[in-house]
Structure 1
Amino acid sequence: MQPRNMSMRGAVDLAAVKAAAEAAEKAEQARAARARQAQEGGGEAPSAGPLVFDVSEAEFEAEVVPLSAEVPVVLDFWAEGYAPAEELNPVLEKLAAEYDGRFVLARVDIRNSQNLARQLQIRDLPTVLAVVAGQLVPLFEGPAQEAEIRQLLDQLITVAEQRFGIVGEVGARSGSAAGEPAERPEPVDPAMSAAHEALDRGDLGGAIQAYRNVLAERPASVEAKLGLAQAELLQRVQGMDPQAVRSAGAERPDDVDAQLAAADLDLVGGHVEDAFGRLVDLVGRTFGEDRDRVRQHLLGLFEVIGAEDQRVVKARGALARKLF
């Protein structure tokens, strides 16, 4: 059975600029604190904590969110007695030991954390999410093979470093830091790095141009397409009055401009299915140039989320039914 890959591109993060800066600062403060403690104690820095631990909803805000400023935290939602979830636990624990501090694994027993599960919209078990710089990152739902999980973890670690400056310290939790240095992700190329940096500092015009420059040389770059789609979305919602946009969307259901703006606002607010449904319905009520304009805008929103996301797959099917 294939996992329902939710993709890290499923999260649209309007707070990325602020979060990246704050996360980098917190991580540096934590490293400095451990270094000072080691100097004052006259020995090696103490272990930063376990690689695998259990967490309840009461501990989520107090422990997981701050820790995510230092290292990617993978959340494993499971329940004792439910075989598919129990079978995934040892696989994730093995990978946590293998990656040795590049991420940590927090196990959440859904029976003891029902409010948290509702807040995070957990629909199935197992469900695996991640938290990076306080930002929730969907990974996958349902059973998954180790090789597939490994690919998602590698992507998570790379994004955490490139976009937020968060690098889990290898060996810091297992005490093996003095051994052979672990293999690090390949550094991002300068052109892509310039685009990401422009997006992180809020220079949306610069980011858009930088991503377009990358695509001019590498038209198939999925990462650049994603970055461009996100930057263009953020630029469109800049300066919007949310209340006015939502009112216009409700009062003028057939006004293309009003509905496109409302869909953008829906997506930025995390209401992905609402945004898609709004425009799919509008395609069914428009013709000619208006219909094509709505369709193209919807395809652009699909790029923001990622083609493999199940919400995109479902919306593509609905769009096809409206068109044909």
Structure 2
Amino acid sequence: MTDSAQEPQSRRVDTRGAVDLSALAPSPAQAAPQGAGAPPAGSSADSWAVAVQPQQLQQVVELSSQAPVIVLIFGADAASATMKTTLEDLVDAQQGRILLAEIDASAHPELAQSADQVPVATAFIGGRPVGEFDSSVPSEQLGQLVTQMVQMATQNGMTQKLPPQSTRAAQGAEGSEAPAEPELPPLHQEAQDALEAGDYAKAAAAYERAIKEKPDDEDAKIGLAQVKLLRRTAGVDIAQTRQLGADQPDDVQAQIAVADVDILGGHVEDGLSRLVRFIQTHFGEDREAARAHLVELYSIVGDSDPRVSSSRKQLARALF
């Protein structure tokens, strides 16, 4: 799964406007029981995790044009079981704002061999990968990644909620409920509400107040960087921006503008590499402007993303 994934060719929508997932069958363990054996009310919870086959991957990627999707390739090992359960809890807490598509590598040996490691998860928004992570990522950071995906989707106009795709056995004591969606800090919620209303200025102001109150609030810093990206790219003619970047390779602002639309469109490697190449061949204030902007883009993509790690190494070589 790379940035070269094809753009979606079609968008399947049901009569309610939600993504049509009818062709993606839930796993037997997650499928809602039927008949006399159905569990009593309260013993199962709605879930947005669905088992898929490798041949359905393109359809899953297409669905991410309307709702963010995490594709998890898992095995039979303990790390896979832990990551699978953690992601299911986090996704279900979002109550339909994001989908988890699960592929069992143990049932598809050829898939396990092609993957660098299992478990591994890739996040898709708008038909393109926006991040990849494995079991080395702590649970709390996985929660931040899921939240950031939902925020990014909202910023791109994906505000619909998907219907439940399966059911899961309730955890804990009898009658316990599915984990509640984590409550955002007040200023973060204010920023999120402003984003949903398309008010980027108000969202930025809320994040700035959050940072002023708590200078080490990394989530607010990332949120502010994302809002700034949206403000810079709002109403931009992408074709014209790319043409200007091609015509003016020595203009730092032209290169920054193309990098912005690359990141927003999911072309992460292209956007980061463009600025690294500029830094390699330019000096002075322009070089520093490109470097500072590149670091800001790193925060938007996420330090856990391997493309950021790779770009940081390239940047270090370019600078030193």
Q: Note the C-alpha offset of 1:261.
A: 0.9
- 1:129 aligned partner: 122
Contact persistence 1:65–1:131 (CA under 8 A)? no
Alignment of 1:97-136 (within 5 A): 102=93, 106-109=102-105, 124-126=116-118, 127-129=120-122
1:241 aligns with 2:237: yes
Moved more, 156-165 or 266-275: 156-165
1:281 aligns with 2:285: no
- 1:323 aligned partner: 319
- 1:4 aligned partner: none
The 3 A distance-change label for structure 1 pair 223 and 150 is closer
Q: Note the C-alpha offset of 1:215.
A: 1.0
Q: Distance in 2 between matches of 1:98 and 1:206?
A: 31
Kindly, what percent of the aligned residue pairs are identical?
Answer: 31
Q: Note the C-alpha offset of 1:251.
A: 2.0
- 1:312 aligned partner: 308
Q: Secondary structure at the match of 1:173?
A: strand
Q: For 2:272, give the aligned amino acid.
A: F
Contact persistence 2:18–2:160 (CA under 8 A)? no
Unaligned 5+ residue runs, structure 1?
A: 1-9, 11-21, 28-42, 79-84
Question: Which fold has the larger relative contact order, with Cα–Cα distance below 8 Å and residues 6 or more apart in sequence?
Answer: 1
Correspondent of 1:56 among 46, 53, 57: 53
Q: For 2:288, give the aligned amino acid.
A: D
Q: Distance in 2 between matches of 1:294 and 1:287?
A: 10
Q: Secondary structure at the match of 1:75?
A: strand
Q: Secondary structure at the match of 2:243?
A: helix
Q: Note the C-alpha offset of 1:86.
A: 3.9
Contact persistence 2:43–2:175 (CA under 8 A)? no
Q: Distance in 2 between matches of 1:210 and 1:100?
A: 26
Q: Distance in 2 between matches of 1:200 and 1:73?
A: 19
Q: For 2:305, give the aligned amino acid.
A: D
Q: Secondary structure at the match of 1:209?
A: helix
Contact persistence 1:52–1:107 (CA under 8 A)? no
Q: Distance in 2 between matches of 1:271 and 1:98?
A: 29
Contact persistence 2:275–2:290 (CA under 8 A)? yes
- 2:36 aligned partner: none
- 1:81 aligned partner: none
Alignment of 1:69-84 (within 5 A): 75-77=71-73
1:194 aligns with 2:187: no
Contact persistence 2:123–2:130 (CA under 8 A)? yes
The TM-score normalised by the length of structure 2 is 0.64
Contact persistence 1:75–1:129 (CA under 8 A)? yes
Question: Which whole-Å deviations, capped at 9, do the CAs of 1:241-276 have from their partners, x for residues lacking one?
Answer: 111111111122112221111111111111111111
The TM-score normalised by the length of structure 1 is 0.64
Q: For 1:128, give the aligned amino acid.
A: A
- 1:205 aligned partner: 201
Alignment of 1:280-299 (within 5 A): 280-299=276-295
Give the structure with the larger helix fraction.
Answer: 1
The 3 A distance-change label for structure 1 pair 105 and 215 is same
Q: Distance in 2 between matches of 1:140 and 1:299?
A: 20
